[in-house]
Amino acid sequence: MSIQETISSQRKGQAYIDILKSRLHLEGQKFSRLLNSSNEKIYYPYKNVLHTHPFFERYYRYPPVKYCNYNKAKLCHWVSSVPKNISRNVPYVIEPQDHPLAPTGESEPAMVLDARQMAIDTYMSSNCKKIIVESEGQLSLFDRYLPDSVMKKTEIVRLGAVPKIKSVGGKNKDYENLTFVCFASDYKRKAVDLLITAWLEFSLKEKCQLILACPNIPNDMSSLIEAENIKVINKAPLSQQDKHILLSSADIVIAPLHVDGGANVIEAFEYGVPVITMRSQRSFVRNDNGWEVDVPFYFYDDGYGKEWPTWDIFWKILDDAKEKHVFDITVQGFVNVFEEIARSPEMLLKMGRSSYDLACGDFSLELRNEQLRKIYSEALQ
C-alpha cells in the first residue's frame, strides 16, 4: 500500500470514529438534558444544526443555557424553519440563517418567493417572540422581502467566535514569505476557479504560498497549478487539528463564495488573521480587518427567484457570465489585493489585531450567549 493510500485509509477510519463520537455525544447530551436542563426549559435542535456545518458544534459545546428536550420546552429556539410536524403549541424564537424566507422550507428560489407569505405568517405568529439575524447584510435582505411589522421583531446576534490565541503576533513578526490560506468546501459554489485565476495573474507569488483546502478541484486544474506556489489539500471538511495547524501559520485567509459562507471568516478572526472575501449578504469586513472583493452578482442578489428561478439556472447564468469575462472585475479585485499585501505586508499585523478584536468583542460567542439569554428571558415573560 502506498503512503497516500495509507493516509487516505487512516483519514477514512478517523472520519468514521469522529462520526461515532459525535453520535454518542449527541445521545449523551439528550440524556443530560433530561436530568440537568435549566429552569427556563428552552429547546434547541442540536441534531439539525450539527449536521449543517462543523462550525456550529460550538453551540453544542458552549450553550447559553442548559437546554431541555422538546417535550419539556416552554420556549423553542428554531433554526431556519419551524418544523411542520410539531405537536405542541410552544412560543419560539427563530434564527433563519442564510435567507429571510428560509421558514418556507422551499429550496428553489422561485418557489421560495412564491411561498413568501408562509414566512411572514411564521414571523407574525403570536408565538414568534424574536427573529435572530446574524448581520447587517442579512438584515437588509429582510427589509427587501418582509413588512415593517416583521422587522420590528428582528435583532442582530452574530455567529459567535471563540478566540484560539491569547494575543496577535508582535512587531517582529516575519512577513518575508506570506502564507495565504483558503478553506473551500466546494470548487464551484465557493468560486475557487476565480481565486486560482487571480493567483496565476499575481506577479509576486514567488515569495508567497497559497494553501488551498478543497475536495473537488478538477484534475486538469490541479495539474495546471502544481508549479504556481499552490499547495492543494484535497479534503473537506478538515479536522479541528488540521485547521489549527493551518490557521496558526496563515498570514491571510481567503473566503471566496458564490452562494453562501462565513464560518471560515469567523475562524480567521479567532486566530487574529486578516480576511479577503467577496461581496455577499454577510458583513464580515470591518474596522480595517480585511478586504471585500466586488462581484457582478451573487446568489441572493436581486435576480434571486426572478432571473434565476432555480439553482440550475443560476449555475448556467454564472458559467455563461464567466465565459464572457463578466467576472474579470472579481479576478482583478483579488489580484489588486494580493499585490497590495505583497508590497506592504507590515499592514497585516494591525489588520490581524482588528480581526482578533472582533472575535473577542462584537463577534464573540460570549456576547452571543449573553444576548440569547436576554432574548430567552424576555420571550418567557
Q: Is residue 1 one of the residues assigned to a domain?
A: no
Q: Check whether residue 335 and residue 373 sit in a common domain.
A: no
Q: Is residue 4 one of the residues assigned to a domain?
A: no
Q: Is residue 169 one of the residues assigned to a domain?
A: no
Q: Check whether residue 155 and residue 217 sit in a common domain.
A: no
Q: Residue 303's domain is classified under what CATH number?
A: 3.40.50.2000
- Bridge partners of residue 209, in order along the sequence: 179
Residue-wise DSSP of 132-156: EE--HHHHHHHHHHS-HHHHTTEEE
Q: Check whether residue 90 and residue 125 sit in a common domain.
A: yes
Contact 225, 210 (CB under 8 A): no
Q: Check whether residue 342 and residue 205 sit in a common domain.
A: yes
Which domain range does residue 85 map to?
37-160+364-379
Q: Check whether residue 88 and residue 154 sit in a common domain.
A: yes
pLDDT computed for residue 2 by the predictor: 40
How is residue 81 written as a grid cell? Answer: 424553519
Query: What are the pLDDT digits (tens) for 35-84?
Result: 455 677 999 988 767 666 778 889 988 999 999 999 999 999 999 999 98
Q: Check whether residue 292 and residue 369 sit in a common domain.
A: no
Q: In what order do the strands lie in the sheet with 252-255?
A: 230-233, 208-213, 178-183, 252-255, 275-278, 290-293
- Bridge partners of residue 130, in order along the sequence: 93
Query: What are the pLDDT digits (tens) for 177-229?
Result: 899 999 998 999 999 999 999 999 999 999 999 999 999 999 888 778 878 99
Q: Check whether residue 196 and residue 102 sit in a common domain.
A: no
pLDDT computed for residue 5 by the predictor: 44
Other beta carbons within 10 Å of 177: 12
Query: What are the pLDDT digits (tens) for 252-262?
Result: 999 999 997 78
Q: Is residue 32 one of the residues assigned to a domain?
A: no
Q: Is residue 133 one of the residues assigned to a domain?
A: yes
Q: Is residue 235 one of the residues assigned to a domain?
A: yes
Q: Check whether residue 291 and residue 245 sit in a common domain.
A: yes
pTM: 0.85
Domain count of the chain?
A: 2
Q: Check whether residue 188 and residue 206 sit in a common domain.
A: yes
Q: Check whether residue 278 and residue 304 sit in a common domain.
A: yes
Q: Is residue 6 one of the residues assigned to a domain?
A: no
Q: Check whether residue 109 and residue 240 sit in a common domain.
A: no
Write out the H or E segment, with its range, that includes residue 336: helix 328-343
Query: What are the pLDDT digits (tens) for 100-145?
Result: 999 999 999 999 999 999 999 999 999 999 999 999 999 999 999 9
Separation in Å, CA 212 to CA 105, 183, 254: 33, 6, 9
Q: Check whether residue 211 and residue 322 sit in a common domain.
A: yes
The C-alpha atoms of residue 287 and residue 125 are separated, in whole angstroms, by 38
Query: What are the pLDDT digits (tens) for 320-367?
Result: 999 999 999 999 999 999 999 999 999 999 999 999 999 999 999 999
Contacts of 187 (CB under 8 A, 6+ apart): 193, 214, 216, 217, 218
Q: Is residue 75 one of the residues assigned to a domain?
A: yes
